[in-house]
Amino acid sequence: MSLWLERLSREFSEAESSQIQAEIFNLKGLQVELESLSTERLQEGLIRMAPYRLKYSGNLRHGRVETWQQANSYIAEKIQTNQAPTWQDILNLNALLTNQVKSEIRTKPVYLGPFEACPPEELTSSLQYFENHILQNKDQLHPLIATALCQYWLVSLHPFEDGNGRTSVVLSDWLLGLHGYLPMSFDTKIDGLIATLSNDRVSATPGNAVIKLITNVQRSYRLVLNDA
């Protein structure tokens, strides 16, 4: 197993596991509260939540809102028909979000700040592992954990020239929607940063990524409940 696969496959620490279970429990309470809302209050809450769904993207330039809407229409149809995402769907999402006819795997190094993401020579084997062991095996885990790991792996591998973060978030919202959860919301761009990088000091662990995703989902519930 390559160094990158080892880093992405790290086990949760005991502290992370305890916090994950606590946050899942807290989210269940928010779900119960949401179920008690009237249709009118629910609609008002969803409108209140909507602007926070895009804050992870920072500056919404170059038609990003329009491409984001196209990608969300794509996943909405899939959720309605209970279709789980495939690797081809991820390629399609990236193409929609970056306004391309077809998305291609990058062949050059890419950096998140000063730190390199997965090098191109390791991408093919790493993406095969992601597809076979993470994307296709997600039903073996709690849906929140599985969703977070899919997001974490995809954004850490950074397989595309552009739109990796946006693709990973929309993929997560698809997986959340399949299991009846609200999508993620963000206060700032920092709330969406979960990647493992070439420097461990600034890298997220898989456990960090799960906690962050659950926190971002909880934020959506609190916004809808007007309890943010």
Q: By 3-state DSSP, what share of the chain in percent is helix, strand and coil, each rounded to 5? A: 65, 5, 30
The more confident residue out of 58 and 214 is: 214
The three-state secondary structure class of 11 is coil
Provide the whole-model pTM: 0.92
In this structure, the dihedral spanned by the alpha carbons of residues 217, 221, 223 and 224, taken in order and rounded to 10 degrees, is 140
> What is the tens place of the pLDDT at every residue in 142-191?
999 999 999 999 998 999 999 998 999 999 999 999 999 999 999 887 77
Domain spanning 3-28+62-181+192-212: CATH superfamily: Fido-like domain (1.10.3290.10)
pLDDT value, residue 154: 94
pLDDT value, residue 108: 93
Is 173 within 8 Å of 152 (Cβ atoms)?
Answer: no
Exposed e or buried b per residue across 122-159, where buried means at least 16 C-beta atoms within 10 angstroms of its C-beta: ebeebbebbeeebbeebeeeebbbbbbbbbbbbbbbbb
The two tokens of residue 128 are: 């095969």
> What is the tens place of the pLDDT at every residue in 18-43?
999 999 999 999 999 999 999 999 99
Residues 149 and 140: their CA atoms lie apart, in Å, by 12
Q: Which residues are catalytic?
A: 158
